[in-house]
Amino acid sequence: MRIGRVATLSDTGRRRLRNEDAYVCDPPLFAIADGMGGAQAGEVASRLAAAAIAEGERGGLGEDDVAELVRAANASVYRHAVENPSAAGMGTTVTVAVVDEAAGSVVIGHVGDSRAYRIRDEELEQLTADHSLVAELVRTGRLTPEQAVGHPHRSVITRAVGTEPSVDVDTFTLEAVHGDLYLLCSDGLTDMVSDADILGVADAAGREPDSVARMLVESANRAGGDDNITVVVFEVTEGEPRPETPTLEQAEPAPEPEAESPAPPVRRRGAGKGGRALAVIGLLAVVAVALLVVWWSVKR
């Protein structure tokens, strides 16, 4: 079993000025964080958490290892809030997925109301439980799922990374099956697009990660785009684990390329090849006129 195609996309949405989401896409490690807090504190919290997860001590591929990554993110965000009074109360959701190709499994770590989904065969399954007030009311039977949709307090979360010195992390392990498509997303998607529509979009996109990510963000924006929208999509396929895939403990930055990669295409607003040709013709015309003036002066 191995990781197949992957895709990420993050969008500010239609109503927010800043993007307070952050993500990690470093196979076999994937994560998403949705920050909260006044001023720019939410943006800082999510990026601190993502950086801590991406750069933290990576001891293995198990549930304890994933929980430790989230706890490292919690320590980073909490420390920043203590040292910077203007950021008091900052926090972020965190949802992590780590694929163990050799074992054929996916480990999930989770705090908050960002979500992990899995599409298998014809079914979309929400893997994580929202740590939110409305979700708790639904779980205890005090609200129906229909009443939860559009509830005025649906964004109130009951557990976050960085708001306390320590944090409880939900962790669990799933068997990976060929053809599985995993989706990590912020609530900017799920508040705008229902589970049934997420599955419909994925099917319409042929379950190709790049197309799925793009079409989901477009769907959320068409529905209003009330919040930042971030999606991380990856697939599981058949095949031997990639020999170059390190364990988390051994992960190292990729070596620098020996040669510079080609520059991206540039939209030119000045003269292109045709413009340069016209400039040469114009220069020759000026020179010819100057020579004619000199010749005429000599003749006189």
Domain boundaries, the chain: 2-250
The residue written with tokens 């989904």 in the block is 117
Segment holding 220, helix H or strand E = helix 209-222
Segment holding 3, helix H or strand E = strand 2-11
Reading the chain (300 residues) residue by residue, the pLDDT tens digits are: 899 999 999 999 999 999 999 999 999 999 999 999 765 789 999 999 999 999 976 667 899 999 999 999 999 999 999 999 888 889 999 999 999 999 999 999 999 999 999 999 999 999 999 998 888 888 888 887 777 777 777 778 899 999 999 999 999 999 999 999 999 999 999 999 999 999 999 999 999 999 999 999 999 999 999 999 999 999 999 988 876 544 343 333 333 333 333 333 322 223 333 332 333 334 444 445 445 544 455 454
Nearest to 97 by CA among 121, 116, 123: 116
In this predicted structure, what is the pLDDT of residue 253? 36
In angstroms, the Cα distances linking 246 to 40, 152, 173, 251, 285 are: 36, 45, 19, 5, 65
In this predicted structure, what is the pLDDT of residue 38? 65
In angstroms, the Cα distances linking 46 to 109, 145, 155, 161 are: 16, 28, 16, 9
In this predicted structure, what is the pLDDT of residue 295? 47
In angstroms, the Cα distances linking 107 to 64, 98, 130, 166, 208 are: 10, 5, 17, 21, 22
Query: What does the alpha-carbon distance between residue 37 and residue 39 come to, in Å, rounded to a whole number?
Result: 7
27-52 in b/e burial notation, b at 16+ Cβ within 10 A?
ebbbbbbbbbbeeebbbbbbbbbbeb
Query: What does the alpha-carbon distance between residue 235 and residue 207 come to, in Å, rounded to a whole number?
Result: 9
Rg (CA), the chain: 26
Contacts of 277 (CB under 8 A, 6+ apart): none
Q: Which two tokens stand for residue 261?
A: 């990669």
- pTM of the predicted model as reported, rounded to 2 decimal places: 0.79
The residue written with tokens 């419909």 in the block is 200
Nearest to 155 by CA among 87, 227, 90, 219: 227
In this predicted structure, what is the pLDDT of residue 291? 52
- The sheet that has 170-175: what strands, in order across it? 21-26, 29-36, 91-100, 105-111, 170-175
Q: Which of 3.60.40.10, 3.40.120.10, 3.40.50.300, 2.30.30.140 is the CATH number of 2-250?
A: 3.60.40.10
Partners of 140 in beta bridges: none
In this predicted structure, what is the pLDDT of residue 24? 97
In this predicted structure, what is the pLDDT of residue 40? 74
In angstroms, the Cα distances linking 33 to 135, 186, 272, 295 are: 19, 7, 44, 77
